[in-house]
Structure 1
Amino acid sequence: MQMYLVGGAVRDELLGLPVQDRDWVVVGETPKSLLDKGFLPVGKDFPVFLHPETHDEVALARTERKTASGYHGFQFHTAPDVTLEEDLARRDLTINAMARAEDGTLIDPYGGQRDLAARCLRHVSDAFVEDPVRILRLARFAARFTDFSVAPETMALMRRMVEAGEVDALVAERVWQELARGLMERRPSRMIEVLRECGALARLAPELDRLFGVPQPPAHHPEVDTGAHLLLVLDECARIEAVLPVRYAALCHDLGKGTTPEDEWPRHLKHESRSAELADALSQRWRVPADCKELAELVAREHTHVHQSLSLSAEARLRLLERCDAPRRPERFALMLLACECDARGRAGLAARDYPQRPALLRDLAALQSVDQGAISAAALAAGKKGQAIGQAIQQARLAAIKACASDPPP
């Protein structure tokens, strides 16, 4: 049996990076012959098997033919006479179209090693145009391999794909899957830049695309451009290794600024409520998981209030915490504050600024959590109070707790 290590494992090995997953291709076999050798079938769309000993994924060498628009419009062909080179030819980028034989021999028919050395993301062949997911994958690789550039001919090819409407046929789940992975890479800003340059961002997320070129007050935003600010915030999230909900919230926090009329620039009054609405619409369109969706709306709606919280009264801070449901959902509140801190630091020349709002509001939350509502309710009942009066007693205790700790240094 001829079996070859392929794709990302070979690429990462040559780059000196840890190999996470190992994918294999076998040549000269059939599904029956693999089953006879003890391989376990797992593929739904095409024959993929688990190796009986290593449990690595093993696929039959295959070719593919475009039969309809979109991601699912493919017909796969597997047969013992399909060669390794034919299998590699259907892959997206040259750096992913290399293989290593079991004796260690490197098979590189399309110049992947050359493009690794040149730090270049280049398509293997014009078959790239047949799968619009490849645009998303390339953008994600640009966010991972931060010193790689996109080959000009590949960028031109992606533009033609966008103009032909191929991106419009992508299913929401696959868009989110690729974008979520890209947000978790080392420089997620590069994913946005690549998608914008080829025109895909305007088709997938016009709410994001129209942020570029929209000015903000330079006193608060030295970078001025709202789109440039977004990219800085995303990379700040990556710098602190924030979780996906925080990064997605950062992506959506200023969407409302793209709908501010030009005669109101550079101010963006009430952009927060518009941002929350647009974040909700984008989340629904991409079918974003609930934890990401909820945090994005919360950060969009409240980030300005969090930034201003040091100058708010104790009453206003209490209302802020209650609007955020912080006493019941402290973990989400902490993530919201982290996203707000990334927003504050994602500004030209301000990446190292302090953000005392986060520890101060966490201190306020701790004060709220120290209030024994059960004891207060019992005392109020013993005093003959009912209903609304009990609620007022709890609110007074909460407010008193926040005021009591206001002069304490943040933890």
Structure 2
Amino acid sequence: MRVYLVGGAVRDQLLGHPYHEKDYVVVGSTPQKMLDQGYQPVGRDFPVFLHPKTKEEYALARTERKQGQGYHGFEFYTDPSVTLEQDLIRRDLTINAIAQDDAGHLYDPYGGAQDIQNKILRHVSDAFVEDPLRVLRVARFAARYAQYGFVVAEETLALMRTLATSGELECLTPERVWKETSRALMEKHADVYFEVLRQCGALTVLFPEIDALFGVPQRPEYHPEIDCGIHTLMSLQQACQHNYSLDVRFAVLVHDLGKALTPVDVLPRHIMHEQRGIEPVTMLCERFKVPTATKQFALIVCKEHLKCHQAMTLKGGTLWRLLQRLDVLRRPERVIEFIQACECDARGRLGLENRPYPQKDYLLKAMECVRNIKAKDLPSYVKGPDIGEQLIKKRIYELDQLKRSQQET
């Protein structure tokens, strides 16, 4: 029985990238031997065990053979005779096919260390095309390691294109697509994930609503980058740079989906694109079973982001109704996230990445203004059902005062 550290821990150790989990492969053992040593079985498809003390994962060395469609369509074979090289060759990328023994010696039969040095994401073997999930994984790795200058090898992109046109991507479960995408969205360069998917043709298969934005023009005086798809990815870059939450990043990604539905005869204007965006955002969220809170926030950013840009010109009543729709009294954090998403939209434009966004401070003041008005602030003669109505009137009045003060300033 020989144990090797494999996968992400070895890769990130060589790269100098932080890592938290360690995975091991065990060569020359059997499930019974693992159980006899106190390991706890957790694998459903093939033997994976938890170490009795550290609870780290130990998988028996295995080979696999494609039996059906999708990433579940595999038959796995484990036996003490399976070698380390046979186990490593089934992995997706060379940088993930490196093992390390207890003495620190590296086993790198497929050139992963060299690819790390050359900043290349390259498939290990042609068996890559047997698993459609690898298209998403490679795109996610491209997003994670873009900060180091990694790019996808042309021959690997070619195999990803093969998968994109094979129909295999449609076999991926919604939950798995969302899991990979949500993880990619939290990387420092999440925009690279969608760009790589676009390069290999997978974006139009999995996210046609996003793919449709590319090539759609906008008015250059507001959008010097012109292209709606480029604007979307630039806005997402802004959300990543500020390390905003998953909900903010996803909302930024889909906030302009309605622009792909603008009638050709009115381009490059996009009147009512907020309303047109409701249906494609809803469809995308339902297709991938996006969590309810994430979906609801994305929809409100889609519908209301122009109101945020116009906040300083809105009448008190209009601004109050916007804040109400954002649930300002119960969930002030949602208002803050809404402002963050809209600021990313405003700055996700060529040459305007550092433009001032005074609407942010204005809306934060408006939020505090309405939240600080309580029933105790009303005259003592206001009773019963009148309290709610008078609170609204006072909040609208104070918002009008805030606007007047802002204009005078």
TM-score range, shorter chain: over 0.9
Residue correspondence of structure 1 range 37-116 to structure 2 within 5 A: 37-116=37-116
Find the aligned partners of 1:377 and 1:295 in 2 and give their Cα distance. Answer: 37
Q: 1:405 aligns with which of 381, 402, 405?
A: 402
Q: Where in structure 2 are there 5+ consecutive unaligned residues? A: none
Find the aligned partners of 1:209 and 1:378 in 2 and give their Cα distance. Answer: 58
Residues 203-235 of structure 1: CA deviation (Å, up to 9, x unaligned): 101000000000011111110000000110111
Q: Give yes or no for contact 1:377–1:394 (8 Å, CA) kept in 2.
A: no
Find the aligned partners of 1:374 and 1:287 in 2 and give their Cα distance. Answer: 44
Asked if residue 326 in structure 1 is aligned to residue 323 in structure 2, the reply is: no
How far is 1:54 from its partner? 2.2
The number of residue pairs the alignment matches comes to 405
How far is 1:375 from its partner? 6.1
Q: 2:304 aligns with which of 297, 302, 305?
A: 302
Give secondary structure in 1 for the equivalent of 2:279. helix
TM-score, normalised to structure 2's length? 0.96
Q: Which residue of 1 aligns with 2:129?
A: 129
Find the aligned partners of 1:409 and 1:23 in 2 and give their Cα distance. Answer: 57
How far is 1:377 from its partner? 9.4
How far is 1:327 from its partner? 2.0
Aligned AA (2:232): L
Q: 2:166 aligns with which of 143, 164, 172?
A: 164
How far is 1:409 from its partner? 6.9
Instruction: Assess, with a 3 A threshold, how the Cα gap between structure 1 residues 392 and 126 changes in structure 2: closer, same or farther.
Output: same
Backbone CA RMSD of aligned residues: 1.6
How far is 1:406 from its partner? 3.6
Asked if residue 224 in structure 1 is aligned to residue 221 in structure 2, the reply is: no
Asked if residue 207 in structure 1 is aligned to residue 209 in structure 2, the reply is: yes
Q: Give yes or no for contact 1:129–1:158 (8 Å, CA) kept in 2.
A: yes
Q: Give yes or no for contact 2:375–2:387 (8 Å, CA) kept in 1.
A: no
Residues 8-50 of structure 1: CA deviation (Å, up to 9, x unaligned): 1111111112232110000000110001011111222221111
Instruction: Assess, with a 3 A threshold, how the Cα gap between structure 1 residues 287 and 379 changes in structure 2: closer, same or farther.
Output: farther
Aligned AA (1:239): Q
Residue correspondence of structure 1 range 5-404 to structure 2 within 5 A: 5-146=5-146, 147-373=149-375, 376=378, 379-381=381-383, 387=385, 389-404=386-401
Residues 287-339 of structure 1: CA deviation (Å, up to 9, x unaligned): 11122111100100000111111111222211211222222221111111100
Percent of pairs with identical residues: 51
Q: Give yes or no for contact 2:315–2:400 (8 Å, CA) kept in 1.
A: no
Find the aligned partners of 2:226 and 2:133 in 1 and give their Cα distance. Answer: 33
Q: Give yes or no for contact 1:71–1:171 (8 Å, CA) kept in 2.
A: no
Q: Where in structure 1 are there 5+ consecutive unaligned residues? A: none
